[in-house]
Homo-oligomer: A and B are copies of this chain.
Amino acid sequence: MLTLFQSPSSIARAVMIVLEEIGAPYTSHRIDFTQNQQSSAAFLAINPKARVPALVTDRGILTETPAILLYLAQCHPTAGLAPLDDPFALAQVQEFNAYMSSTVHVAHAHRARGHRWVEADDTATLTAMRNFVPKGVKAAFDLIENSLLRGPFVMGEAYTICDAYLFTIAQWLELDGIDPADLPRVADHRARMLARPAVQRAIERSVA
C-alpha cells in the first residue's frame, strides 16, 4: 500500500492524478501548510526537505515529483503513462518534467517561497522577487505554449505523466498574475484535464 503526503493545490496533486489514473490503492495524508506542518518533527522524519510530495512505499520513501511520477509509470506499465520501451521518447518525457520542476515551478516559487533564496526578513527583496513572478512564469509558459505542448497532450496523442505535471502547475496561473487567455493552448489543455474523472477525484481527495 502506498501513502502519499500531500497538500491541496501543491505539486503533490500531479502525483495524486497519476495515482488516480492508474487506479492504484493509496492513502492520502494531508500536510497543512497553514499550520506549518511540513516543518513538524513528525514530517521532517519522513521528508527532511520539508516538502510535499512524499510517497511512502513498501521499499522506502520517495520524494521529488519527477522521480515519483516515473516510478509510478514504471510500476504500472499497463496504464501506459510513459513510453517505457523507448529511451529517447522517455527522455523527452523526463526533459519536460525536469523543465517543470527546475524552471517553471521554481519561477512560481519566488512568489511565496522567496525565503529559500534570500533572508526571510528581507522584505524588499522578497517583494521584488514576487513582483517579477508574472513575467518569469509567463516566459516559461510561453515556451510551453509555443513549443513544448504538442497537443492534444504534452507528448502528442499519448496521455502521459507530463500532462498531470503541466495541469497542476497551470492551475497556478491566475495566482501568479497570468491570464490563461494569453496561453490558449495551455488553457485548453487545462480545461480538458479538468474534465477527466481521475483529475476530479484527485482534487476531491486532496482537500478531504
Residues on A lying within 8 angstroms of B by beta carbon are: 48-49, 57, 59-60, 62-68, 70-71, 74-75, 87-88, 90-92, 94-95, 97-99, 101-103, 105-107, 110, 116-119, 122, 124-125, 128-129, 132, 136, 143, 147
Contact = CB atoms under 8 A, between A and B. Distances in A.
Identical chains in the assembly? 2
A87 B62 CA distance: 12
A129 to B, nearest CB: 6
A116 B88 contact: no
Nearest to A133: B117
Contacts of A70: 90-91, 94
**What 7 A-B pairs come out closest when comparing CB atoms?**
A67-B94, A64-B98, A71-B91, A74-B87, A67-B95, A102-B102, A125-B128
Q: What does DSSP make chain A's interface, helix, strand, loop or mixed?
A: helix
Contacts of A118: 128-129, 132
A136 B124 contact: no
Contacts of A128: 118-119, 122, 124-125
Contact of A67 (B59, B68, B91, B119): B91
B75 A87 contact: yes
Given A48-B143, A49-B143, A107-B117, A98 B132 contact: no
